[in-house]
Structures are given as structure tokens and as C-alpha cells.
Structure 1
Amino acid sequence: MTVAPTALGKAERIAFIDQRLEALYGTPPIPLNHIDPYTLLIAVLLSAQCTDERVNQVTPELFALASTPSAMVTLSPEDIRQIIRPCGLSPQKSKAIHRLSEILLEQHQGAVPRDFEHLEALPGVGHKTASVVMAQAFGVPTFPVDTHIHRLAQRWGLTRGRNVTETERDLKRAFPIHRWNDLHLQIIYYGREFCTARGCDGRVCEICRTCYPNRKHPKRLHKA
């Protein structure tokens, strides 16, 4: 008689996911092209509801004209909007880019602040954007969670969080702090390659199948 494989316990899932992602992606590259903390901040802001690939197509033209706050404020919000239009939400994003550049000059000597309080006070910068900048520009351990990481963390049984805030809390509890920044990127790359919204429903990719070999139905996400 064939014995069905059993699902991994939570500690086993965490260990397997950590080891598998590290084996697949090692030290993952930052997907958004940038020069320094300021250009990273702008790129991350542009990536809201837009693919990294599209952002990387748009930012060379923008940064050729303005790669510093002092240069950016010489452009009008309309000038910025014409360049960033392919990224979507261009009216809001262009105004945010222009105003945050003014604030950096007025309040921070033109430098991107290195703390959450001042980053999240900038127009167009929420907690996820601030977390990415803190991690990728300044090396501060954070665990940025967007809807894609939220979905995968639920599929893999790492959280029952109903929103990205609760999922971020659970992921920080699950993994050691020295792994947070790399894991954030490794999960993104794995999700794009193997555990996409349409390509895996919680039963298809290697991690989903290993963690839950007996799952019979698509994984439904917990929502607020």
C-alpha cells in the first residue's frame, strides 16, 4: 500500500523554503536599476502597480534629465508626467516625485533620510517603499511585503495574515534577521519564475508541492 506523503510542519517548511531559495538565488540582484539612494527611491515609487521591467525602461530618460533632487525640481510635474506615463498613475506619481524632491532639499540637505519616520513622511512613500529603500540603499534589515509576497507566504503556510502588515510581522518572526533583505528578493524572483498568480495556485510549484503534497484544492488567501 502506498503511503501518501505528509505535509511539512511549520518549522520544516521554514527551513526548506529558506534553504531552497538560497540555493536557487544566492545573493539576489536588486531588480530596479539605480545609481544611488535618491534614484532608487524614485524607481521604487514608480514601481507601484507597475512592473520592474517597465520602470527600468522609463527611468533612463528621467535620470538623464534629473538624477538629483536639485535637478528634478527644475522640471515641472507635467514634464515628469510625460516621461513616466508608461508606469501608470502618472499624475499622482509625478506630483509626488516633484514635491518629495523639494522636501529633500528643504529639510534634508538633498539627501534621502535613513529612517522610516522621515521616509514615510515623503509624498508617495508608504511603508513598503520605505522598507525597500532602507534595505537596498542602506542595508538596514527589513522585510518589504507587497501583494505578491503576501500571496506566496500564505500559499506556503508562513502566515495567516489578512494584509501585508500582518504578513510582514509573521515573516520577520519566521526567519532570522540576517536573512530578511535577501529573502525579500529571493521570494520575488521565485514567485516570478515558478509561483505566479496564474501559473501556480498553491499546488503546482516545487515549494508548494513540497510543503503541502496532499493539497487538493487551490489555496484561498485570507483577506481582511
Structure 2
Amino acid sequence: MVTDDATGKTLLVHEILNQHYGIQAIYGRLEPMHELIATVLSHRTTHANEVTAFRTMMARFGTWEAIRDAPVEELTEAIQTSNYPEIKAPWIKQILARIIAERGEANVDFLREMTNEAAMTWLTALPGVGLKTATLLLLFNFQKPVLPVDTHVHRVSQRLGLIGPKVSAEKAHAILLRYLPPDATVLFNFHKHFYWHGQRICTWSYPKCQSCVLKLHCDYFQGKQ
């Protein structure tokens, strides 16, 4: 069944990917503070290089407080496998300084008790923390009903026609969220499945359209016929 209705189509392709990949329980990739700083390191960086940067940073400085107090040049060197370390090092120091000053320790578990809106506002006020970082942390670690839109989710959503070709990833957060129920498990699986599909099938170059379970519902594929 193909529908032109954006909500109906979104729910349809979501259900197809649920069946294809299987429904996942929500899991936090990392401890919340680790997740926050690692996600900042991950901007425009491969996962392997993000992990290397984080491990090198912790091996050199040992604690969040030591990272906060480290000379910016030394922190920049420690995270050099992450792209743009000269930008990210000051961000990380400022993030840690603010959290420790406000909370007395490097801990963001208090976000669990905040409303979605308040938690998003607090996080996105931090240097280098945008919607993707904030939503990843809140969904994965605190099971809040928000939707991370990374490059894979954005690309798959555009090719399917769920969002317009000129809609930015920032605007896609709110648009896609309106199409889906405010349920953290639903949103987690939507994110994970679109992420995996973008990595494995709907790749940026040479998408594997003939192997795609969504091809009958995809504007991009239909436009190639």
C-alpha cells in the first residue's frame, strides 16, 4: 500500500523497517557524560577516530576536572584524531566548566527529571551542542521521546519523500517528530533503522535501490524508473 499522506507514509516505512531489522530495546551507548563529550568529538568524524580521541584524552588527563583545567593546546593535541580539534577542545573545556560549576560535579543525570523542552534548552545552550547531540543523549540515555536526525536519517527521509529536498537536518527533527507517536521506543527504532538503512543500503553514493525493502515507497527510486 502506498500513501501520499506524510504521516501515513512515515508510519508505513517505519513498520517495514521494524520487520526488516527487528525492534530494538532502548540502550545507552555510553554513560551520560561520556555520551555527551563523545558526541561532541564525533562531529564530522568517523566513529573509530572519535573513540581514539576520547581514549587518548582520558588516558592523558584521567578525570573530567583535569580535562577542564588542561591547557587548550594539550587538549587539542590529545583529541587530534577528531576533526577540527582546535574548535572542539575549547568547547569541551567550556562544557565541563559549566556543568561542574552548576552541579558541583561532572554529571548530567539531573536531565532525567527535566521536561523534554527544558532538557533540550539546557543542553543546546552548551558550546558545540546542537539538536543531534542533545537528542541522542536524551533518547539513548534517558529514554525521552525525542528524535535524533543524523546524516543517514536525513538522507533516507529525503529520498523517501518524508521531508522536502531542501529541508535541513535541523528542521527535519521537528517535522519527522510530528509524524510519529511520542513514544521513546518508537523513536529509538525509527532512528536506529533509518541509520542502519542509510549505512547499508541507502548510501550517499551508489545506493543499493534494487535490494531496498522500501523501493516501492521511495520517491528517489520511483524517479529513476
Out of 112, 119, 122, the residue aligned to residue 123 of structure 2 is 119
Displacement, 1:37?
0.9
Pair 1:87 & 2:82 matched? yes
2:195 alignment partner in structure 1: 188
Q: Which moved more, 1:37-46 or 1:75-84?
A: 75-84
Pair 1:173 & 2:178 matched? yes
Do 1:38 and 1:67's aligned partners in 2 also have CA atoms closer than 8 Å?
A: no
2:205 alignment partner in structure 1: 198
Matched AA of 1:189: W
1:14 alignment partner in structure 2: 10
Determine the C-alpha separation between the residues in 2 that align with 1:67 and 1:97. Answer: 15
Displacement, 1:25?
4.3
1:222 alignment partner in structure 2: none
Displacement, 1:68?
4.6
Out of 112, 132, 136, the residue aligned to residue 132 of structure 1 is 136
Identity of aligned residues (%): 22
Q: Which moved more, 1:62-71 or 1:36-45?
A: 62-71
Determine the C-alpha separation between the residues in 1 that align with 2:173 and 2:75. Answer: 32
Pair 1:210 & 2:216 matched? yes
Displacement, 1:29?
7.5
Instruction: Give the number of aligned pairs.
Output: 210
Out of 103, 107, 116, the residue aligned to residue 102 of structure 2 is 107
Matched AA of 2:134: A
Which ranges of 4 or more aligned residues in structure 1 deviate by more than 3 Å? 6-13, 64-68
TM-score, length-normalised on structure 2?
0.80
SS of the residue aligned with 1:177? coil
1:52–1:20 Cα change, 3 Å? farther
Higher helix share: 2
1:107-144 deviation line (CA, Å, top 9, x unaligned): 22222252112211111111221111111121111111
Determine the C-alpha separation between the residues in 2 that align with 1:69 and 1:174. Answer: 39
In the TM superposition, 1:52-63 aligns within 5 A as 52-63=47-58
Displacement, 1:204?
4.3
Determine the C-alpha separation between the residues in 2 that align with 1:43 and 1:67. Answer: 15
Return 5+ residue gaps in structure 2 as ranges: 112-118
Determine the C-alpha separation between the residues in 1 that align with 2:154 and 2:8. Answer: 20
Out of 152, 155, 159, the residue aligned to residue 155 of structure 1 is 159
TM-score, length-normalised on structure 1?
0.81
Return 5+ residue gaps in structure 1 as ranges: 1-5, 219-224
Structure 1 vs Structure 2 CA RMSD: 2.7
Displacement, 1:66?
4.7
In the TM superposition, 1:16-35 aligns within 5 A as 16-23=12-19, 24-27=21-24, 34=30
Do 1:155 and 1:208's aligned partners in 2 also have CA atoms closer than 8 Å?
A: no
Out of 72, 93, 96, the residue aligned to residue 91 of structure 2 is 96
Do 1:28 and 1:185's aligned partners in 2 also have CA atoms closer than 8 Å?
A: no
Determine the C-alpha separation between the residues in 2 that align with 1:117 and 1:157. Answer: 29
1:69-117 deviation line (CA, Å, top 9, x unaligned): 3232232222221121111010000111111111111122222252112
Matched AA of 1:155: R
Do 1:39 and 1:67's aligned partners in 2 also have CA atoms closer than 8 Å?
A: no
